[in-house]
Amino acid sequence: MSEPQPGPQVSALINLSNSILSGGNFIQNNQIHNGDLSGFARLLNNVAPNASYDSGHVVDPPKCHPNTRVAIIKTIINWASGTIMDKEMNAKPILWLKGGAGAGKSAIARSVAERGSNEGLLLGTFFFGAGDTTRNHVGGLVATLAYQVCRVFPELREMVTSLIEEDPLVFTRSISVQFTELIIRPLSTILPNHSGTTQIPRLIIIDGLDECSANMDSQRDLLFTLQEVTNSTTLIRFLIFLDDDYSAREDIELYLEDKFQEIKERHIFKHKLPATWPRLEIIWDLANKSSGQFIYASTVVRYIESPRHRPDQRLDAILNLRPPFKDLPFTELDALYRHIISKADDPSTLLNILAFPVLYEAYGPAYFKVTHIEKILQLEEGDVEVILADLHSLVTIASDVDGGLGVRFLHKSLADFLCDSQRAGDLYLNLSTMRVQHAALLISAVSTTFSE
């Protein structure tokens, strides 16, 4: 056996096949061993591996049971591919899916991600998790998505690496800057001329934003960034999953403040507006009526900013402080309400049920308990839940403080719609008539009880 030679020894365990020596620095696997990192290594250091839909960190990740949620998954996939028949929905670059805890949102998200990946539609995913410090904040979001984009389009890896090396502190920049530099910019260089498969990957799925433990400013910044991204490019579509507990009220309030300020600065009749218009309490009231619906807030803004009318007069019409104009303000929202309600099997009984929370909200939840409604309307036990089954996006049956179940509107603007004959048409609730009917039914129910 030969004696060891003097001098530094190179371990046989070091694989030099993918390594080079350059300028005195030993480089292996994209990492410079003098303490400086290459762009791609810096990207990897900021990735949250557990946030991907196919992460091995999640044992038995939730996915939809076979042959369940088929319709909603198909709708989402068709929207992501741009082949959905609903032209209005097809034009929307952001799709929101809300549901209460345990409603199966994450299962749908993972099933959509898996199918989207198989069909060549998926760009990336990020699953927030409140109990995981690597993915309960927005810090690793863009790096994680950029890494996945580089896997979908390997030709972008060199460009992303160079961009990071040009600005090694890019991951300390705002979410908006990171999206622009590391995702939009690279994608815009190849997708317009993409000649691969017929389907162009453009779907990004973000699940559980409500599980982001960062402050509301970070969540708001992310939401506004996603809006900015879709305003600047058609290359990306976002599918966002939220819990019903997540409230967009603050975001809507800020949106309304910004839009009213734009109207005051740019509208053709801005010189006609009072200096204090609109009062802050009016913005609060509009945000409260929106009940988390951006469609309500955006409808209000579009109506008020009409260049053919004074904005303050249009706002007064919305607030019922003056007669409405020929074009009604909530046409789009009313059409949505009418479409959902029209799907019910028994619209007449449905309207009778909806009248309770409208009529008796001021008296407290005891006046529209499910059991009371069923007795007064002479329905069988369980009928209310069955009749309201198709209205889960508008109405919920929730527990009261005393443990009973009550009917609740998810959107305050629904009551306004039902109580306005011009808006509701044949769905109009004449509250005076309803009170008389309820009194007569209550007397009948009590009489029946005593006769027995």
Backbone angles phi, psi at 27, to 5 degrees: -115, 130
Q: How far apart are CA 440 and CA 447, in angstroms?
A: 11
Residue pair 325/285 in contact (Cβ under 8 Å)? The answer is: no
Provide the pLDDT for residue 198.
56
- Residue 88 vs residue 34, higher pLDDT: 88
pLDDT digits (tens, 9 = 90+) for 390-407: 777 678 887 765 667 888
Model-level pTM? Answer: 0.51
- Residue 26 vs residue 211, higher pLDDT: 211
In sequence order, what are the residues at sequence separation of 6 or more whose Cβ sits closer than 8 angstroms to the Cβ of residue 338?
424, 425, 427
Helix (H) or strand (E) holding 123, with range, is strand 122-127
Residue pair 175/100 in contact (Cβ under 8 Å)? The answer is: no
Say if residue 338's pLDDT is above 70: yes
For residues 22-33, one letter each, b for 16 or more C-beta atoms within 10 angstroms of the residue's C-beta and e for the rest, the string is: eeeeebeebbee
Q: Which residue has the tokens 């329905």?
A: 379
Fold that domain 49-243 belongs to in CATH: Rossmann fold (3.40.50)
pLDDT digits (tens, 9 = 90+) for 300-327: 888 899 888 999 999 998 887 887 777 7
pLDDT digits (tens, 9 = 90+) for 57-79: 654 555 655 555 677 888 889 99
Other C-beta atoms lying within 10 Å of the C-beta of residue 35 = 7
Domain boundaries, the chain: 49-243, 249-329, 343-451
**Residue 121, both tokens:** 């539609």
Q: Helix, strand, or coil here: 95?
A: strand
Q: CATH number of the domain at 343-451, please?
A: 1.10.10
Residue pair 78/84 in contact (Cβ under 8 Å)? The answer is: yes
Residue pair 379/407 in contact (Cβ under 8 Å)? The answer is: no
Closest alpha carbon to 251 in 208, 283, 280, 276: 283
Say if residue 126's pLDDT is above 90: yes
pLDDT band for position 193 (cuts 50, 70, 90): low
Say yes or no: do domains 49-243 and 343-451 share a fold.
no
Query: What average pLDDT does the structure give for the chain?
Result: 79
DSSP characters over 175-243: HHHHHIIIIIHHHHHHGGG--SSSSPP-EEEEE-GGG--S-HHHHHHHHHHHHHHHHH-SS-EEEEEEE
Say if residue 351's pLDDT is above 80: yes
- Residue 344 vs residue 67, higher pLDDT: 344
